[in-house]
């Protein structure tokens, strides 16, 4: 009887399958080079063992995180702002990158965003796409109202290669790299080169309850990811080996090219700068993504 009681007590203290050394993390998209630091963080004996999952759709991350079905989730920073505006008390705790990944990618021959006046530019339909396009064109001295937008979903590569559009909003580290490998001459006009602040595009988020009630878990996540992304920045080949081992079937050459493009954007690893975040908040309102600037001190855990 004493032995049985001890077993039951230990089981109760264990909290089920996930203890303080284990957590779940939902990605924002299918695994790619921007996630290399996450997978690199799991090499050896990490402080926090992560169950890494890819979302079924682009809206899964906010829903599952808000419902408590994952401990952490990678969100686009604009999606974090939109989720908070709709009442979800989600908090950014760790940035994967230190600059925007959004860009307007143009076919060869287009030398400036000003040249997009009167031309067709593809957008996915997300509010942030239109903001990126308008910011880039305006930042180059052009008139964004003279650009003709076409909704193409997430098909920027095929739409540009087939000539359906003259340019498209996309990520310079993903579609931009893929296009240049297929056909040299494509130009990526990065949004922070045309008026946007250098905000962190992708941020690992948690609920307010997790940040408040499980600070040791949040600290363990930050420490684990900081080591992983530092490794990805300093030893990219090793980080990619871990990525390919965890996610077989990825295009090795493409992942190598993507991470090479990303490496300068990884540092300083894990920094959340309040001044930059406030500038991002103002930019999101100025270009119509958000209705009002979020309270940066509430939207991000700036304790570390």
pLDDT of 243-277, one tens digit each?
Answer: 999 999 999 999 999 999 999 999 999 999 999 99
State the Cα–Cα distance between residues 84 and 76, nearest whole angstrom.
Answer: 13
What are the residue ranges of CATH 3.40.190.10 in the chain?
Answer: 19-99+200-299, 102-193
For the domain bounded by 102-193, which CATH number is listed? 3.40.190.10
Fold of 19-99+200-299: D-Maltodextrin-Binding Protein; domain 2 (3.40.190)
Single pTM value for the model: 0.90
User: What is the per-residue pLDDT for 274?
Assistant: 97
291, 293, 299: which is closest to 272 by C-alpha?
299
**CA atoms of 99 and 113, how far apart (whole Å):** 20
Out of 6-20, 28-42, 84-98, 276-290, least confident range: 6-20
Mean pLDDT is lowest, of 57-61, 77-81, 116-120, 164-168, for 57-61
What pLDDT is recorded for position 58? 61
Q: Above 50 in pLDDT, residue 84?
A: yes
Instruction: Please choose, from the candidates 19, 56, 50, the residue with its C-alpha nearest in 3D space to the C-alpha of residue 37.
Output: 50
CA angle 273, 82, 201 (to 5 degrees): 40
State the Cα–Cα distance between residues 260 and 13, nearest whole angstrom: 44
Task: With beta carbons less than 8 A apart as the criterion, state whether 247 and 39 touch.
Answer: yes
Reported confidence tier of residue 56, pLDDT bands at 50, 70, 90 = confident
pLDDT band, residue 19 (cuts 50/70/90): very low
pLDDT > 60? residue 8: no
User: Looking at 110-114, 126-130, 250-254, which range is the least confident one?
Assistant: 126-130
Checking if the pLDDT of 4 tops 80, the result is no
pLDDT band (50, 70, 90) for residue 303: confident
Higher pLDDT pick, 56 / 30: 30
Whether the per-residue pLDDT at 214 is higher than 80: the answer is yes
- Read off the pLDDT of each residue in 116-121 and give the average, rounded to a whole number: 98
Lowest mean pLDDT among 49-58, 123-132, 219-228, 291-300: 49-58
pLDDT value at position 20? 58
Q: Average pLDDT over the chain, rounded to whole?
A: 92
| 3-state class (DSSP) for residue 296 | helix
């Amino acid at each position: 009887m004493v032995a049985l009681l001890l077993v039951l007590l230990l089981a109760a203290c264990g909290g089920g399958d996930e203890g303080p050394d284990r957590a779940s993390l939902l990605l924002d998209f299918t695994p790619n080079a921007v996630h290399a630091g996450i997978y690199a963080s799991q090499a050896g004996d990490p402080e926090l063992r992560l169950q890494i999952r890819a979302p079924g759709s682009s809206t899964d991350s906010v829903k599952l995180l808000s419902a408590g079905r994952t401990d952490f989730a990678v969100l686009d920073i604009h999606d974090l702002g939109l989720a908070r505006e709709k009442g979800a008390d989600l908090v950014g705790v760790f940035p994967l990158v230190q600059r925007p990944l959004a860009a307007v990618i143009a076919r060869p021959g287009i030398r400036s965003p000003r040249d997009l006046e009167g031309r067709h530019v593809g957008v996915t339909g997300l509010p942030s796409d239109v903001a990126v396009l308008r910011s880039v064109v305006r930042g180059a001295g052009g008139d964004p109202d003279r650009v003709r937008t076409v909704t193409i979903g997430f098909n920027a590569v095929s739409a540009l290669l087939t000539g359906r559009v003259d340019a498209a909003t996309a990520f310079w580290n993903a579609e931009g790299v893929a296009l240049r490998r297929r056909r040299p001459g494509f130009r990526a006009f990065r949004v922070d080169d045309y008026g946007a602040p250098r905000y962190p595009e992708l941020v690992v988020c948690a609920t307010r309850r997790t940040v408040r009630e499980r600070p040791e878990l949040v600290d363990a996540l930050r420490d684990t990811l900081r080591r992983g992304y530092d490794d990805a920045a300093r030893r990219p080949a090793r980080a990619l080996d871990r990525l390919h081992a965890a996610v077989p079937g990825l295009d090795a050459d493409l992942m190598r090219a993507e991470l090479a493009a990303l490496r300068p954007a990884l540092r300083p690893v894990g920094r959340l700068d309040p001044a930059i975040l406030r500038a991002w908040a103002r930019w999101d309102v100025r270009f119509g993504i958000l209705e009002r600037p979020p309270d940066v001190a509430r939207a991000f855990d700036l304790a570390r």
